[in-house]
Structure 1
Amino acid sequence: MWFTRISVKYPVFTIMMMFCLMVLGLASWQRMSVEEFPDVDFPFVVIYTNYAGASPEAVESEVTKKLEDQINTISGLKQITSQSSEGLSMIVAQFNLDVSSNTAAQDVREKISSVSANFREEIDKPVVERYDPTANPIMSVVFESDKMNLQELSTYIDQKLIPQLRTVSGVGSVNLLGDAKRQIRIQVNPLKLQSYGIGVDQVINTLRNENVQVPSGTLHQGSSEMVVEIQSKVINPISFGDLIVANKNGSPILLKQVADVTDSQAEQESGAFLNGKAAVSIDILRSSDSNVIQVVDNTYKVLDQIKQQLPEGMYLKVVVDSSKSIRGTIVDVARTILEGAILAVIIVLLFLGSFRSTVITGLTLPIALLGTLTFIWAFGFSINMMTLLALSLCIGLLIDDAIVVRENIVRHTEMGQDHVTAALEGTKEIGLAVLATTLTIVAVFLPVAFMGGIIGRFFYQFGVTVSIAVLISMFVSFTLDPMLSAHWAEKHDPNKKPSAIKRFFNWFSDRLDALNHFYAKLLKLALRFRLVTVAIAIASLFGAFALSKMIGTEFVPVPDKGSIRIKFETPVDASLQYTQAKLQQVEKIIRQHPQVQSTYGVINATTNKGKNHVSLRVELTPRQERAQTLNDLNNEFRARLTSIAGITVTSVASADEVVSGGQKPIMISIKGQDLDELQNISDQFMTEMAKINGIVDLESSLKEPKPTLSLSVNRLLANDLGLSVSQIANVVRPLLAGDNVTTWEDDRGETYDVNLRLSQDKRSLPTDIQSLYINSNKTDSNGQSILIPLSTVTTMQETLGASQINRRDLSREILIQANTSGRPTGDIGQDIQKLQENFKLPAGYSFDTQGANKDMAESAGYALTAITLSIVFIYIVLGSQFNSFIHPAAIMMSLPLSLIGVFLALFLFRSTMNLFSIIGIIMLMGLVTKNAILLIDFIKKAMERGIDRYDAIIQAGTIRLRPILMTTSAMVMGMVPLALGVGEGGEQSAPMAHAVIGGVITSTLLTLVVVPVIFTYLDDFKNFMMRQFRKITS
């Protein structure tokens, strides 16, 4: 090859090229960002709409359905789901992957703007955000103080600290939990309002209109101007009580005569506890296009500044730092690369028996690795788990070409050629075969890079990285290796006594020679009994497929990153104080376990699901320091919590939610329109699901009904009395739910909400509501508005209403979710699928599988497409290499033979068939053909030189045995660290290495025997067809 000749002729130029690759690689590494996974643009959009005090049914009809109808008309929409809960509508719109999230968000804003403009006054404007289903708080910080009370601490954090954190580059939002900020509370007394003949709406209008500062123009004084403003802002909180709300008989009625005005704190809506102690905390979420590690690093810098500002007796502690697990995962994968490289080089040294040959061969690794970094930086990739995993799997591949080239050069040297000639001729002889093997790897991984779906987006960087790495390693093998072999050759001194290590290498070489003799006999035996050989191979393959039935399936293995998230609920009408007490009980029990380091619990966190929802994060001792697995601890905690009455544990699982998006792996949607019928179906189906082995934490999205008080307005009577429905609603809603009617600003410029509400003792009974009075639009003889009791125009009915209404694709649904324990998710999914097939649904109702099983089915389809394309591309490369349509088939017979080892290895390592093991199988298709290519290439070349086919097969087999065993051993040893699954998150990638190691070992053993036999059959077939063709044409 011309570049090999140039490299040998100009050694300094070759060294400079390699040096350049390494320098550029180091420079690129410094510039690349570090992430756990590739940055994927999720085309999801979420729409939040607040409707304070409204029931789920009202939220659904007034907000959710109207918005859904508009969003559903947008092109590119894939799926739309929604949740309507008390006072909140949340809609998630998922678009096709070819739609960018920015475009999707803009389309949604434009579509809903027209309908939201016609919403009722009390419905807030919808908030549209890009949504990342894997987004969770990247940091949680807890604040405590020895000298501040809860209100002072909350107010200080809200006004002094959160604004600083919001300025951090990459921070999307900062949420305060467990807080009780300062609030001016105005608690009206309905009896006093009635006695003075004042309506609640008068109080609301007074607060909004009297606490103002209005600019009123300017005064011109010669060459200067003076701004005039009407200043009627309330100076201090208690002065709100001096506002005049009405005049009766010439006497002013002050606010303090009909309401209690207090400088107090807002009612707590959430809670935070660290190790059982109440605290105030903040959750920090990153923006969708930011880097987790960079945001965390920037946040720590601000926190260091904040620590210097904190008042005496106030402390902060970071309790959640997502970057730690990311850094740990990256470091662990990088360590497996180093360990794999060292083991691979040791194998090369063992086989070649020469330190100099090992250096020549081993230099390919650092040059190829660093050179690859240059190109993946140019592609805009980051250092993440997928790119590092690709490099880790490539260790054996990167040194493979160098081994083959160096071994062949050494063989030519031993044949008596000088070092330069041996370098050129040895590389030339093996060059086309090495080129073909490299192109087969590229042919395999390019389809992986372009798989469909979100999973394809994750594996894009994986496939491209592998392709780049093997191309660079081939280039280094064709340039640096021949040059060093020609100009840095070993000198043999026959008179020098061999050292102990050299004697060991000689002994190992003798064992390989003995193995070679044995292999020659075995190969002759296989060629003699060809049919028996093929029959044994086929039987082994059928046995492997039978064994595959015993291997479980799942989407992605759950990694053990040292943390567990426990979710539980108290009764739907539970108060915050009740839920806090239960959380403290749970924390106390969990902290008794010796493997627990800390607990951090939050009530009614950012999801705003209600005061009865709790999420508890449990930090464990590092995995290497405990005997119990994550699943063991999940089961133990689950059992311990059964002793606590008044709670329903909904989930005990890994706190790592990158892949799941915080959802359970088992998700079954039951769709229909009638909630009662849906609940009846879900109850029956859940009863049957609970019988399936491995199902835990079974729950339904339709929670316990919440007591609902329904007020029906007599529209005709209300109209006669001068009232409208909206007027009634605008009075009742703020009195019960509370309404921030205005704000108050202190002398430091800090702003606080002024909240109007009925006092607690006046909003506890249904009769309290009907005793309210509303100002009519009609007046009495004195010109005063008539007060109408609410009981006059409304009737009251107590019912049980849904606490949450879910919808999917414009239809109501109940979503059944469950975790798994002790069995793979895919196996459980198959049992659920059988249950669905045998379950009779009423007309108009249907099942829809979601979650991990749906993701697994989609990914399997994409992987099957990638495998099919890979096989086609491999055949194209081999056909071009051998200039034959038939001989490539002999090489491709090694593909199914590799499955024997795959299934055996997965079974022995107790791994599952999952996304990573499937990628390992795809990778195998490129690896196992490499050995077959080298073998068949030598057979064909020997036959072209006139050697008998039988002798050519024996000669090629004995010549290629050593390099085949060497490359196979290097590949296996390079993957051993990955297969062991040590380090944080190692459980996810280990099945990939298991599949590759098992497949490489068995395919190598069978390739050495079975492929030559199949070659003879195909060669006979080719000769037969040529004889028939000659007969026809003669």
Structure 2
Amino acid sequence: MSFLARLSLRNRGLVALIAIIILGFGAIAIPSLKQQLLPSLSFPAAFVVAPYPGAAPDIVEEQVTKPIEDALQGVADLEDITSTSAEGSATITVTFAFGTPIDDITNKIQTAVNRIGPQLPEGVDPQVVAGSTDDLPAIVLAATKSGDQSAFAAQLTSVVMPALQGVEGVRTVEVTGVQDQNVVITLDPARAAPAGVTAETLTAALRANGVSIPAGTVIDGDRALSVQVGGALAGLDDLRNLAVTPAATLGSVATVELTPEAQTSVTRTNGKPSFGIQVTASPDGNAVQISNEIRDKLAGLEKELGGDAALVPIFDQAPSVEESISSLTTEGALGLVFAVLVILVFLLSVRSTLVTAVSIPMSVVVALIALWVGDYSLNILTLGALTIAVGRVVDDSIVVLENIKRHLGYGEEKQHAILTGVREVTGAVVASTLTTVAVFAPIALVSGFVGELFRPFAVTVAVALLASLVVSLTVVPVLSYWFLRPPKTGGRTQEEVEAEALEKERRSPLQRAYLPVIRFATRRRLATVALGLVVFVLTLFGATFLKTNFLDDGGQREFTIAQELPVGSNLAATDAAARKIEDILAGHDEVEAYQVTIGSSAGQGWGGAQTTNTANFQVTATEDADVERLQADLRTETGALTGAGTITVGSAAGGPGGSTDSLQVVVQANRAEDLTAAAKLVQDAMTGTPGIADVESNLAASVPRVDVKVRRDVASRYGLSDAAVGQIVAGAYRGQTLTRLTVDGQQRDVVLRFGAPPASIEELKALPLPVPGGPVRLDAVAEVAESAGPLQITRIDGERSAAVSGRATGSDVGATSTDLQKRLDDLVLPAGATVTLGGVSADQAEAFSQLGLAMLVAIAIVFIIMVATFRSIVQPLILLVSIPFAATGAIALLLLTDTALGVPALIGVLMLIGIVVTNAIVLMDLINQYREQGMSVRDAVVEGGRRRLRPILMTAVATICALLPMALGVTGEGGFISQPLAVVVIGGLISSTLLTLVLVPTLYTMVEGRRERRRERKRAAAPAEVEAEVEAEGERPVGAHRLEDLQSADR
């Protein structure tokens, strides 16, 4: 590819113009890049949610869950089916491989579910939903105001929602926590019976009135007018005046009023009753821009809402995104400055430094343009990749420029020096860059969450490195022609100038320090290799002390607190317990805002049953807060509370995959009693494992309920059945929905009731059942008693299961998981029961396995590229030795910095595979060139090491210094991915560079020297035949060098 340098020098103005155009295009494209916290990911899961109000979990399982599971078995591409049957709802989670088209799979699931619709109980309407990271809210607001909360909710709907929906890039705006209102008709039996009004006559009257019927068209002169008969009921007064019989209106036999539904949840923000406003961005929306525009509108909206109305952000992506972008940009800029200073120190020339440094902005801009073209966003992954790339993109330019500068220093004519300098290193530069880029190709083979998360990272680094290669072979030669100056000859010949430059090189401090080392290493080869083996053994020993984890938390300010009271606790009891935690949060200056939601829907908004024994807190810490310490303090303070139930202070909500410390064991068994026993054994094992806290089983809780068992023999005498009694009891609590009515511009359900719902078991027993001859009490035809049943029933792939979960309290999640697995292996489980370690342990095991495979593939790709470069199999094997020694520094620095080996660190190891062979390629390529010129093996090794010492050290030190701000976490933002990666790369570069300059030349001398000596013996035995063979293979004697020193035939 050295022709690029010749072409560029012939068209210097064009090259400069193209570079300026690229920079200008980047200035236009870069501001339009979408900014996110994380890349857009579509989760490989869909949910089938089927509400069945009032049904117990076992009934839901038999009548809803199992039929849906059976229907889904025929859908292709599904991996797992997990179901949860709770009171009043069924939720079936379907998982499939990453990369599966979400729309296609959800359509198939919906079709399968629709097919079995007639088999499901009446009123059960399953819905299929799927999501991605784009469904996460861009911003969540808490809305508070004193006074009538229903009127305030109406204000939010009519004022705030339209204003926010008008912001560019907003997809949806949803107000949560609003208590719906229904039109409730309470029939008075004493007045209704004499007037002949029953539920049937009332239903018929409502259906026959309040409708608009198109009757036809009437001709009025030259106009054609449509005829509409009837009209919608305008409001509650129309409903009250509705004639239900010739002698009675509805208002005369019943009360008609707008009544809020029974309260099943409470939301407060900073101690005040509140509503939530969630704003999600469209796929092309910019979360930062949306957030900033919404924040600008808040003051005006608060004024428009009046009173003491307040709109407070409790979750906002923008600050995290902006802080991460700003911090990583700062670290990248510091890295750039450090890299440039290193180059300046080595080259001692401002001109040369500026020529080299130009590759950094050019390569970064090209990478950003590639992100824009590929519709990638600017997020902590792509920004981290650019920051890391800053230290690498300068390498090619350093090698090229250093060689150009050396030839200029020999007094050669400028253009000849530039072309010669480029030509000598082109092969090595291309090969070394391709090996670094090639290691990212296996990222495409990494499946699951890690592969999806890091694919934009790999693309960004690869594009930046390829851009740096092109810049080094085009822009750098042109700038060198314009700005570099050859030394003044002072009347000396070119040979004299070159000799003086070579002597100056040998007298430099670096050369004086290195030459004795390389000469000793190549002379005492066995001792050098033995020392290398000792280092390798120590590396393996040190690896056993490494901590391991999946991903660190993201260092964000938001985290959660979960509170659970005994099952059956009512809303008032849970509310009182939640206030104790609110009091603690209010007393912490490091807490900026907090929101609590008491009571949660098992159906997640799709009509599921309500549980009133839980409270969930969303806590936002101040910018300067130490979140980990704050969480620890909260755990201590909440743990001292009495009567507050089980409290779990969660991890910071920053890990891209969710909680990064959650451990879970899935238990499966054929029989319910075996499942219970096995789950208890697992729970005890987890509780006894050091480093695990907050252990709980989803089988541990049972929910109290009232069972009404109809005595069929007695009920039949009154003409009642199970279904008839069930409808009457359900009507007493939920009423009977008759129709919908528009009230104040909103559609409301019209619900018929026959009185207040029974408030106790005794009132339920006394519930009158209408039968011929007069009403009869419920307990006259049925047994009414309190019992206990499962809170929920979980099934995995059709088999009942349980989940025992806990939280890893230490940083070494891998060691904790290993300890737990050993304890699980020692359990004596009931026959047919199985346990599987899941949660973050399974995620970590899968990620490590996938990345381990990616490393093997990367090594194979690197080896193939080197074989093609050197046209030899032996020499690439020598180069691969530098890879395991890169682990020496990486492991040592991980141990010194107490950094865990997680997915980001493994990505750093993957990068090292390509990086560490770069210097070895540059070194070996020059050694081979010297041997082609006739040098002996040892002379070529020593001379090659001497000549490549400065560029190798320059590239390594420049990369290390560029990554130093990131490794130190100078800004502290976005470091959960970039910091471990930078630590690994720095440590690996330090050790591999030192060993490249010593061990690789030593091994080269051993292998090639042996071949050289073997050839010498053959030549001594049959000089004529050897001469003929040498001539046939294209070798040529050079000057006084011996024939055995020539190695072209070997290559």
User: Residues 68, 290 of structure 1: CA spacing in aligned structure 2 closer, same or farther, 3 A cutoff?
Assistant: farther
Task: Pick which of 716-725 and 59-68 moved more.
Answer: 716-725
CA-based RMSD: 3.3
Alignment of 1:930 with 2:918, yes or no, is yes
Look up the SS of the partner of 1:745 in the other structure: strand
Alignment of 1:942 with 2:942, yes or no, is no
Partner of 1:968 in structure 2? Answer: 956
Deviation at 1:965, TM superposition (A): 0.9
In structure 1, distance between residues paired with 2:770 and 2:648? 50
In structure 1, distance between residues paired with 2:835 and 2:815? 18
Alignment of 1:451 with 2:446, yes or no, is yes
In structure 1, distance between residues paired with 2:507 and 2:991? 19
* Conserved 8 A contact 1:390-1:462: yes
Deviation at 1:408, TM superposition (A): 0.9
In structure 1, distance between residues paired with 2:94 and 2:83? 9
1:751 aligned to which of 741, 747, 754: 747
Aligned positions, number: 1001
Deviation at 1:138, TM superposition (A): 3.4
In structure 2, distance between residues paired with 1:475 and 1:978? 27
Identity of matched residues, %: 27
* Conserved 8 A contact 1:270-1:604: yes
In structure 2, distance between residues paired with 1:444 and 1:271? 53
In structure 2, distance between residues paired with 1:204 and 1:871? 79
2:339 aligned to which of 341, 344, 347: 344
Name the amino acid aligned to 2:648.
Answer: S
In structure 1, distance between residues paired with 2:986 and 2:60? 56
Task: Pick which of 1016-1025 and 690-699 moved more.
Answer: 1016-1025
* Conserved 8 A contact 1:44-1:104: no
Tell me the alpha carbon deviations over residues 275-331 of structure 1, each in whole angstroms, 9 at most, x when there is no partner: 122222233445678654465456557767745642454332222212321222222
Partner of 2:680 in structure 1? Answer: 683
Partner of 1:466 in structure 2? Answer: 461
Partner of 2:543 in structure 1? Answer: 548
Deviation at 1:1007, TM superposition (A): 1.2
1:731 aligned to which of 728, 733, 755: 728
Partner of 1:499 in structure 2? Answer: none
In structure 2, distance between residues paired with 1:169 and 1:793? 62
Look up the SS of the partner of 1:884 in the other structure: coil
Look up the SS of the partner of 1:710 in the other structure: strand
In structure 1, distance between residues paired with 2:778 and 2:585? 50
Deviation at 1:745, TM superposition (A): 2.7
Matches within 5 A, 1:415-430: 415-430=410-425
Tell me the alpha carbon deviations over residues 572-591 of structure 1, each in whole angstroms, 9 at most, x when there is no partner: 22222332222222011122
Partner of 1:892 in structure 2? Answer: 880
Partner of 2:942 in structure 1? Answer: 954
Tell me the alpha carbon deviations over residues 348-391 of structure 1, each in whole angstroms, 9 at most, x when there is no partner: 11111110000100011111111222233323322222222221
Partner of 1:66 in structure 2? Answer: 67
Alignment of 1:131 with 2:120, yes or no, is no
Task: Pick which of 25-34 and 916-925 moved more.
Answer: 25-34
Deviation at 1:1000, TM superposition (A): 0.2
Partner of 1:51 in structure 2? Answer: 52
Partner of 2:178 in structure 1? Answer: 179
Partner of 2:820 in structure 1? Answer: 832
Alignment of 1:120 with 2:121, yes or no, is yes
User: Residues 718, 813 of structure 1: CA spacing in aligned structure 2 closer, same or farther, 3 A cutoff?
Assistant: same
* Conserved 8 A contact 1:897-1:1003: yes
Task: Pick which of 525-534 and 288-297 moved more.
Answer: 288-297
Deviation at 1:805, TM superposition (A): 2.1
2:979 aligned to which of 990, 998, 1001: 990
Tell me the alpha carbon deviations over residues 957-990 of structure 1, each in whole angstroms, 9 at most, x when there is no partner: 1111111111111000111121122332313321
In structure 1, distance between residues paired with 2:728 and 2:941? 95
User: Residues 435, 476 of structure 1: CA spacing in aligned structure 2 closer, same or farther, 3 A cutoff?
Assistant: same
In structure 1, distance between residues paired with 2:1018 and 2:520? 33
* Conserved 8 A contact 1:449-1:464: no
Deviation at 1:927, TM superposition (A): 0.9
* Conserved 8 A contact 1:420-1:485: no
Look up the SS of the partner of 2:119 in the other structure: coil
Partner of 1:365 in structure 2? Answer: 360
* Conserved 8 A contact 1:199-1:773: no
Partner of 2:1034 in structure 1? Answer: none
Deviation at 1:135, TM superposition (A): 5.0
In structure 1, distance between residues paired with 2:205 and 2:55? 24
Deviation at 1:664, TM superposition (A): 5.6
In structure 1, distance between residues paired with 2:919 and 2:24? 33
User: Residues 931, 39 of structure 1: CA spacing in aligned structure 2 closer, same or farther, 3 A cutoff?
Assistant: same
User: Residues 95, 904 of structure 1: CA spacing in aligned structure 2 closer, same or farther, 3 A cutoff?
Assistant: same
User: Residues 377, 241 of structure 1: CA spacing in aligned structure 2 closer, same or farther, 3 A cutoff?
Assistant: closer
Matches within 5 A, 1:1002-1021: 1002-1020=991-1009
Partner of 1:500 in structure 2? Answer: none
Partner of 1:91 in structure 2? Answer: 92
Partner of 1:528 in structure 2? Answer: 523
Partner of 1:498 in structure 2? Answer: none
* Conserved 8 A contact 1:387-1:462: yes
User: Residues 613, 322 of structure 1: CA spacing in aligned structure 2 closer, same or farther, 3 A cutoff?
Assistant: farther
In structure 2, distance between residues paired with 1:7 and 1:899? 40
Task: In structure 1, list runs of 5 or more residues that go unmatched.
Answer: 496-505, 781-785
2:703 aligned to which of 706, 717, 720: 706
In structure 2, distance between residues paired with 1:206 and 1:1028? 113
Partner of 2:598 in structure 1? Answer: 603
Name the amino acid aligned to 1:843.
Answer: A
In structure 2, distance between residues paired with 1:901 and 1:713? 75
In structure 2, distance between residues paired with 1:136 and 1:647? 31
Deviation at 1:36, TM superposition (A): 2.2
Partner of 1:503 in structure 2? Answer: none
Deviation at 1:1026, TM superposition (A): 6.8
In structure 2, distance between residues paired with 1:374 and 1:936? 35
Look up the SS of the partner of 2:439 in the other structure: helix
User: Residues 133, 819 of structure 1: CA spacing in aligned structure 2 closer, same or farther, 3 A cutoff?
Assistant: farther
User: Residues 56, 158 of structure 1: CA spacing in aligned structure 2 closer, same or farther, 3 A cutoff?
Assistant: farther
Tell me the alpha carbon deviations over residues 690-727 of structure 1, each in whole angstroms, 9 at most, x when there is no partner: 22222122222235211111223355665664444444
In structure 2, distance between residues paired with 1:174 and 1:198? 48
Partner of 1:13 in structure 2? Answer: 14
2:379 aligned to which of 381, 384, 403: 384
* Conserved 8 A contact 2:269-2:596: yes
2:807 aligned to which of 790, 807, 819: 819
Partner of 2:329 in structure 1? Answer: 334
Partner of 2:154 in structure 1? Answer: 155
In structure 1, distance between residues paired with 2:800 and 2:428? 60
Deviation at 1:241, TM superposition (A): 6.0
In structure 2, distance between residues paired with 1:712 and 1:133? 47
Matches within 5 A, 1:524-603: 524-603=519-598
* Conserved 8 A contact 1:697-1:819: yes
In structure 1, distance between residues paired with 2:86 and 2:396? 61
User: Residues 925, 166 of structure 1: CA spacing in aligned structure 2 closer, same or farther, 3 A cutoff?
Assistant: same
Partner of 2:1048 in structure 1? Answer: none
In structure 2, distance between residues paired with 1:197 and 1:252? 6
Name the amino acid aligned to 2:844.
Answer: M
Deviation at 1:141, TM superposition (A): 1.6
Alignment of 1:220 with 2:210, yes or no, is no
In structure 2, distance between residues paired with 1:1002 and 1:199? 92
Deviation at 1:215, TM superposition (A): 1.9
Tell me the alpha carbon deviations over residues 637-695 of structure 1, each in whole angstroms, 9 at most, x when there is no partner: 11100232233345312342552346862121112354444333223322221222221
* Conserved 8 A contact 2:881-2:1000: yes
Task: In structure 2, list runs of 5 or more residues that go unmatched.
Answer: 491-500, 1027-1051
In structure 1, distance between residues paired with 2:616 and 2:145? 24
Name the amino acid aligned to 2:968.
Answer: L
User: Residues 323, 204 of structure 1: CA spacing in aligned structure 2 closer, same or farther, 3 A cutoff?
Assistant: farther
Tell me the alpha carbon deviations over residues 433-461 of structure 1, each in whole angstroms, 9 at most, x when there is no partner: 11110111122111124422232122222
Name the amino acid aligned to 1:645.
Answer: T
Partner of 1:230 in structure 2? Answer: 230
User: Residues 965, 362 of structure 1: CA spacing in aligned structure 2 closer, same or farther, 3 A cutoff?
Assistant: same
In structure 1, distance between residues paired with 2:647 and 2:117? 35
Task: Pick which of 368-377 and 712-721 moved more.
Answer: 712-721
